[in-house]
Amino acid sequence: MDDADHPVGGPPPTGAVRATPPGAPRTPLDRRRVLTAAIAFIDEHGLDALTMRRMGARLGVEGMALYRHVTGREDLLDGVVELVVDELYGDPEVHLAPTHGWQDYLQRLAHGVRRIALAHPAVFPLIATRPPAAPWVRPPLRSLRWLESFLDALTSHGFSEEAAVAAYRAYTSFLLGHLLLEVSQHGVPISPLDDPGGSPNADDGSLAQYPHVRRLEPLLSQDESAAEFEESLENLLERLQRVLRESRRPGSTI
């Protein structure tokens, strides 16, 4: 089996390919069109279904024709991550510079990343796990431009360089943890061992030996993701405000 036939993982889906109808006018391929089609394919069918051959069929070309625009599956996935993260630049609610203070900047950026995660839940684990351009560029803010923007926003508002880096680490960890959990609750596998359909429920008897879990299962099953995200973000901002105060003290190493 060659690279064009090999899926990222899992069996081929039934009816997952929509080939271009015969005689339909073809738009010339370029890298962006290939990546955009890959994002749409993953959104519809999941990452496991993605192959170069299916991408070619979706675009009305042979799978090998895609290699003029991507060097292979790994380059395709890297390009998908880059293009999805770039959606932040088109989000009118997200500001590249802190026009209303650093807290407003961080809130807008966090909600922008969450919108991306919810718009492309099957892609978000890629954003979390693909190797970054440099080991100190942390997901989900995988762009050097966003890293520069982040550090400039905080240092221009009084954070020491050490405090700004500490804030970057805390902020990215917060986003990654919350959003991976949230997309997994929507049935997206975030590791090869995930089985979204294998969860126990209170009706099948599997919780008989866990009376508290069985009784509280309706409460535990409520989706409070948005409220939890907002509350945790507010707590993080309060923590960073304390970091800022500490960093301004004489002799501080933060």
Contact 204, 140 (CB under 8 A): no
- pLDDT per residue as tens digits for the range 146-156: 999 999 999 99
Model confidence pLDDT, tens digit, residues 2-51:
444 444 333 344 333 344 455 555 668 999 999 999 999 999 999 989 99
Distance of CA 166 to the CA centre of its chain: 21
pLDDT digits (tens, 9 = 90+) for 180-190: 999 998 788 87
Write the DSSP assignment of 225-244 as a string of letters.
HHHHHHHHHHHHHHHHHHHH
* pTM listed for this prediction: 0.77
- Please tell me which residue, 61 or 132, carries the higher pLDDT value: 61
Computed over every residue of the chain, the mean pLDDT equals 83
Q: What structural domains and CATH numbers belong to the chain?
A: 1-70 (1.10.10.60), 99-247 (1.10.357.10)
Kindly state the percentage of the chain with pLDDT values over 70.
81
Q: Phi first, then psi: give them for residue 151, nearest 5 degrees.
A: -65, -35
The dihedral sign for the CA sequence 22, 25, 29, 35: negative
Higher pLDDT, residue 133 or 137 = 137
Mean pLDDT across the stretch 58-76?
91
